[in-house]
Amino acid sequence: MGYKIVEIAPKSITTPNGITYEQPVGLFINNQFIKSQNEKTMAIENPSTGENVVEVCSAAKEDVDYAVDCAEHAFEKTDWASQDPRIRGRYLSKLADLMEENLELMASIETMDNGKTIALSRGDVQLAIDCIRDAAAYSDKTDGRSVNTGDGYVNYTIREPIGVCGQIIPWNFPLMMLAWKVGPALAMGNCIILKPASATPLNALFFASLTKKAGIPDGVVNIVPGPGGMVGTALTTHPKVRKVAFTGSTDIGKDIAVKSSGSNLKKITLELGGKSAHLVFDDADLEKTLPNLVNGIFKNAGQICSSGSRIYAQAGIYDKLLAAFKEYIEKNLKVGDPFDESNFQGAITNKEQYNTILKYINIGKDEGAKVLTGGKVASEKGYFIKPTVFYDVNEDMRIVKEEIFGPCVTISKFETIEDGVAMANDSEFGLGAGIETENLSTALKVAKMLHSGTVWINTYNDFDSRVPFGGYKQSGYGREMGSEVYECYTQTKAVRIKL
C-alpha cells in the first residue's frame, strides 16, 4: 500500500493572555499539514497549569520516510540548491518579516507550551528572527577560493550544500533552537526534516505555516513531531539523510553519533549538556555581579545548556557574596504564572524535568550541602520550583558534578586564580564559563585558561546571532550561529585544472 495523505485542519486556540489563533496540528510534510500514517496523536500540556492545550499528530516511521523522500526530491530535482542563492535569501527575509508580524503571538505560544516568562519568550522570538535575518544575509556568502599551486594548474573551490539534513531539538528553547538550525541550513541550499521535542512542538508547527506563507517551495522544510526514540532514530539511521544536527543531552548525543556514523557516515553537529563554571574574583563589583549570576543560573528556570550552575567565589568575597546573593534572590526573583509580567521565573517545562530537579535537591541535602535559599517547590499547582542555592559543598558531590538543568546552583570557594581555574576545568563538560572581575589582566588571562566553547566576562548567557556557540569536551562539536555555522551546512569541492 502506498503512502496515504490526509490533510488535517488547524485548531482554534486562545492563549492564556487572550490571543486566539489557528494552531496547526498535523505533520508538516511537503507544504501540507497531514495526519500520521498510524493516526497517532500526542497531548500537549501547558506546564504552568498541567492542562492539555491540544492534540498534535505524532509521526510513524513511514511518515519520516515520506518526509525524507520529499526533501530529497526538493534537493535533487528542483532548483532549490542550485538557484542564485540570493533568491533563498529573499524567502528567508520574507519569513523573518512574517515572524516579526507574529512576534507577540509566537511569544505567547512559547510561554503557553514551555512555561517560560512572556518577557523571555519575546526575547527568544527576537533572537530567532535575528538568526533568520542573518541567514538571509548570509545566503550568498558561499564563495569558494582560488588556490595557487604554480603555473601548470588552476585550482578553485566551490562550497556546496550537504543535502537532506535531519535536525533534532530540545524543549528548553523550542523556537530559538529551531531558528539556529533551520535558517543556516536553508540559506546554504539544504532541505530539512526537523523533529521538535515532544513536550514543545507548537511553535515549530506555527513556524511551518509561516515558511509556507513565505513561499518556500514544497519539500524544503518538513517538521515532524513524534517520539525521540522512533522519529529521531528513523532520521539518524536513514540512508538518504546526509547530516544530523542535534541539541539535547549528552547521552542521546552519543547514541546519535553512533547511529549516524554506523548507517551512512552522516555529518554530525552536536550541542550537548553542560555544567558551566562562573568565577567571581575578589575584586568583582557585586552590584554588577549579582544580576549576572542570576542570569547565569536562574534565567529560563535554569533550563539552559550553558547555565552557570557552578559558582566559584574567591575566598575574599565568598562570605559577602553568600549574604548578598541570598538577599538579592529573595527580594527580586518572584516565581509563578509566566504571563504575569512581574514574575521572574515561570514553570519547569515538563513533569519529568520537574521531578529530576526535585530529586537533585534531595540528593544535595543528603550529601550534606547547605541550602542558602530555596530548596523546595514554589506552588502546589503546575511545575514551579524556587531558585535554589547550595553552599558548603565539596567538588565530589553529585550536585557539583552532574547537570541538573534547573534553577539550582552550587557555590564553592577558591583561593588563587590557578585553583579557581583548575576547579572550573574539572568537568567532562565544556560549554560555557563566566568571569566576574574588574581587572582586565585577570579576565583575559583566565579566559585563555578555561576549557569551554564560550567565555563570558562580566555578563552571562548573553547571546548574539553573530557570535558562534558550541562545546568543548563532552558538550559537543560543531558550532551554531556566527559564520561558523555556515561551514557546518556546506561541503567543499575542489576543482583542479591542468593547463
Q: Does 113 bind Mg ion (CB under 5 A)?
A: yes
According to DSSP, residue 277 is labeled E
**Residue 233 binding target from Mg ion, ligand NAP, none, CB below 5 to 8 Å by type:** ligand NAP
Quick one: which segment of 99-107, 115-123, 267-275, 288-296 binds ligand NAP (CB under 6 A)? 267-275
**Residue 229 binding target from ligand NAP, Mg ion, none, CB below 5 to 8 Å by type:** ligand NAP
Quick one: which segment of 242-250, 337-345, 410-418, 487-495 binds ligand NAP (CB under 6 A)? 242-250
According to DSSP, residue 228 is labeled I
Among this protein's residues, is 101 annotated catalytic?
A: no
Q: Of 31 and 108, which has the nearer Cβ to Mg ion?
A: 108
Q: Does 110 bind Mg ion (CB under 5 A)?
A: no
How would you list the strands of the sheet with 388-391, edge to edge? 370-373, 388-391, 408-414, 310-314, 277-280, 433-436, 456-457
Q: Does 377 bind ligand NAP (CB under 6 A)?
A: no
Least distance CB 44 / Mg ion (angstroms): 5
The Cα 27–Cα 35 span in angstroms is 6
Nearest to 271 by CA among 242, 304, 295: 304
Least distance CB 229 / ligand NAP (angstroms): 5
Exactly one of 72, 110, 271, 480 is catalytic; name it. 271
The residue type at 296: G
CA atoms within 13 A on the CB side of 350: 13
* SS3 readout for 36-63: CCCCCEEEEEECCCCEEEEEEECCCHHH
Q: Of 257 and 421, which has the nearer Cβ to ligand NAP?
A: 257
C-alpha cell at 203: 511553535
Given a contact cutoff of 8 angstroms between Cβ atoms, the answer to whether 417 and 443 are in contact is no
Residues forming beta bridges with residue 390, ordered by sequence position: 371, 410
Q: Does 24 bind ligand NAP (CB under 6 A)?
A: no
Q: Does 262 bind ligand NAP (CB under 6 A)?
A: no
**Residue 113 binding target from Mg ion, ligand NAP, none, CB below 5 to 8 Å by type:** Mg ion
The residue type at 179: A
Phi-psi domain of 268 (left: phi exceeds 0; alpha: psi -120 through 50; beta: other): beta
Given a contact cutoff of 8 angstroms between Cβ atoms, the answer to whether 421 and 446 are in contact is yes
Residues of this chain, 388-427, that bind ligand NAP according to CB under 6 A: 403, 405
Residues of this chain, 120-179, that bind ligand NAP according to CB under 6 A: 168-172
**Residue 198 binding target from Mg ion, ligand NAP, none, CB below 5 to 8 Å by type:** ligand NAP
C-alpha cell at 478: 560543531
CA distances from 51 to 46, 138, 457, 488 (A): 6, 41, 41, 39
Quick one: which segment of 186-194, 241-249, 275-283, 327-335 binds ligand NAP (CB under 6 A)? 241-249
Length of the chain: 499
Q: Does 198 bind ligand NAP (CB under 6 A)?
A: yes
Q: Does 480 bind Mg ion (CB under 5 A)?
A: no
Q: How far is Cα of residue 203 from the mean position of the Cα atoms in its chain?
A: 14
Quick one: which segment of 22-30, 107-115, 192-200, 369-377 binds ligand NAP (CB under 6 A)? 192-200
Among 115, 161, 183, 232, binds ligand NAP (CB under 6 A): 232
- Assign 192 to helix, strand or coil: strand
**Residue 300 binding target from Mg ion, ligand NAP, none, CB below 5 to 8 Å by type:** none
The Cα 437–Cα 421 span in angstroms is 14
Q: Of 100 and 255, which has the nearer Cβ to ligand NAP?
A: 255
Residues of this chain, 439-498, that bind ligand NAP according to CB under 6 A: 471, 476
Given a contact cutoff of 8 angstroms between Cβ atoms, the answer to whether 71 and 28 are in contact is no
Would you tell me which residues interact with Mg ion (CB under 5 A)? 45, 113, 199-200
Would you tell me which residues interact with ligand NAP (CB under 6 A)? 168-172, 195, 197-199, 227-229, 232-233, 236, 247-249, 252, 255-256, 271-274, 305, 403, 405, 431, 471, 476
Q: Give catalytic residues, as residue numbers.
A: 271
